[in-house]
Structure 1
Amino acid sequence: MRLPALQKIPALQPTELSDVTQRAVEELLREGESQNTLMSYRSALRYWAAWYGLRYGVMVQLPVATPCVLQFIVDHAERTTPKGLVSELPAEIDQALVQGGYKGKLGAMAHNTLVHRIAVLSKAHQLRQLKNPCHDPKVRELLSRTRKAYAKRGAMPQRKDALTKEPLQALLATCDDTLRGKRDRALLLFAWASGGRRRSEVTSAEIQFLKRVGPTDFIYTLAYSKTNQSGTDLPENSKPIVGAAGKALDDWLQTSKIAEGFIFRRIRKGGHLGEALSPAAVRAVVKDRCALAGIEGDFSAHSLRSGFVTEAGRQNIPLAETMTMTGHHSVTTVLSYFRAQSTLLSDAANLLDL
Structure 2
Amino acid sequence: MAANPSPRKRRLKNAPATVIEPAALISPSELGDAARRAAEEILVAGQAENTVRSYRSALRYWCAWAQARYGQALALPVAVPTVLQFLVDHLARGPIDQPVCELPPAIDELLVRSDFKRQAGPLKMNTVVHRLAVLSKLHQLRRQPNPCEDPQVRQVLSSAKRAASKRGEIVTKKTAATREPLEAMLATCDDSLEGIRDRALLLFAWASGGRRRSEVADAIVERLAKADGGNYSYRLHRSKTNQDGSQAQPDKPIRGPAAEALRAWLEASAVTEGAIFRRLWKTRVGPALTAESVANIVRKRATLAGLEGDWAGHSMRSGFVSEAGRNDIPIGDVMAMTEHRTVQTVMGYYRSGELATNAVGNLLGQRPRPGTATPE
- Report the TM-score when normalising by structure 2: 0.85
Query: Does the CA contact (< 8 Å) of 1:218 and 1:241 recur in 2?
Result: yes
Partners in 2 of 1:277 and 1:254 — Cα distance?
18
- The answer to whether structure 1 residue 77 and structure 2 residue 91 are counterparts is yes
- The answer to whether structure 1 residue 25 and structure 2 residue 39 are counterparts is yes
Q: How much does 1:105 deviate? A: 2.0
Divergent runs of 4+, >4 A = 10-24
Letter in 2 for 1:216: G
Partners in 2 of 1:198 and 1:254 — Cα distance?
24
Query: Does the CA contact (< 8 Å) of 1:162 and 1:339 recur in 2?
Result: no
Pick closer, same or farther for the CA change 1:344–1:143 going to 2, 3 Å: same
Partners in 1 of 2:309 and 2:34 — Cα distance?
52
Q: How much does 1:281 deviate? A: 0.9
- Map of 1:58 onto structure 2: 72
- The answer to whether structure 1 residue 295 and structure 2 residue 283 are counterparts is no
Partners in 1 of 2:68 and 2:42 — Cα distance?
34
- The answer to whether structure 1 residue 192 and structure 2 residue 186 are counterparts is no
> How big is each residue's C-alpha offset from its partner over 1:111-135, in whole Å with a ceiling of 9 and x where there is no partner?
0110000110111111111111111
SS of residue matched to 2:81 = helix
SS of residue matched to 2:94 = strand
- Map of 2:236 onto structure 1: 222
Partners in 2 of 1:339 and 1:104 — Cα distance?
34
Partners in 2 of 1:84 and 1:349 — Cα distance?
35
- Map of 1:98 onto structure 2: 112
Query: Does the CA contact (< 8 Å) of 1:223 and 1:233 recur in 2?
Result: no
User: Aligned residues: percent identity?
Assistant: 50
Partners in 1 of 2:64 and 2:43 — Cα distance?
26
- The answer to whether structure 1 residue 248 and structure 2 residue 266 are counterparts is no
Letter in 1 for 2:303: A
Q: How much does 1:344 deviate? A: 3.1
Pick closer, same or farther for the CA change 1:316–1:208 going to 2, 3 Å: same
Query: What does residue range 101-250 of structure 1 map to in structure 2 within 5 Å?
Result: 101-214=115-228, 216-236=230-250, 238-250=251-263
Give the counterpart of 2:344 among 317, 332, 340: 332
> How big is each residue's C-alpha offset from its partner over 1:281-334, in whole Å with a ceiling of 9 and x where there is no partner?
111101111111111222111111111111111112222221111112322211
> How big is each residue's C-alpha offset from its partner over 1:10-58, in whole Å with a ceiling of 9 and x where there is no partner?
9996757677755543442232122111111000000101111111111
Letter in 2 for 1:306: S
Query: Does the CA contact (< 8 Å) of 1:195 and 1:322 recur in 2?
Result: yes
Partners in 1 of 2:172 and 2:261 — Cα distance?
32
Cα RMSD of the aligned pairs, angstroms, is: 2.6
Partners in 2 of 1:68 and 1:122 — Cα distance?
13
Letter in 2 for 1:250: R
Unpaired runs of at least 5, structure 2? 1-11, 370-376
Number of equivalences: 345
Partners in 2 of 1:25 and 1:85 — Cα distance?
41
Partners in 2 of 1:179 and 1:45 — Cα distance?
41
Of 15-24 and 141-150, deviating more is 15-24
Letter in 2 for 1:316: D
- Map of 2:5 onto structure 1: none
Give the counterpart of 1:284 among 296, 309, 325: 296
For the pair shown, which has the larger CA radius of gyration, 1 or 2?
2
- The answer to whether structure 1 residue 266 and structure 2 residue 300 are counterparts is no
Pick closer, same or farther for the CA change 1:279–1:89 going to 2, 3 Å: same
- The answer to whether structure 1 residue 49 and structure 2 residue 67 are counterparts is no
Letter in 1 for 2:76: L
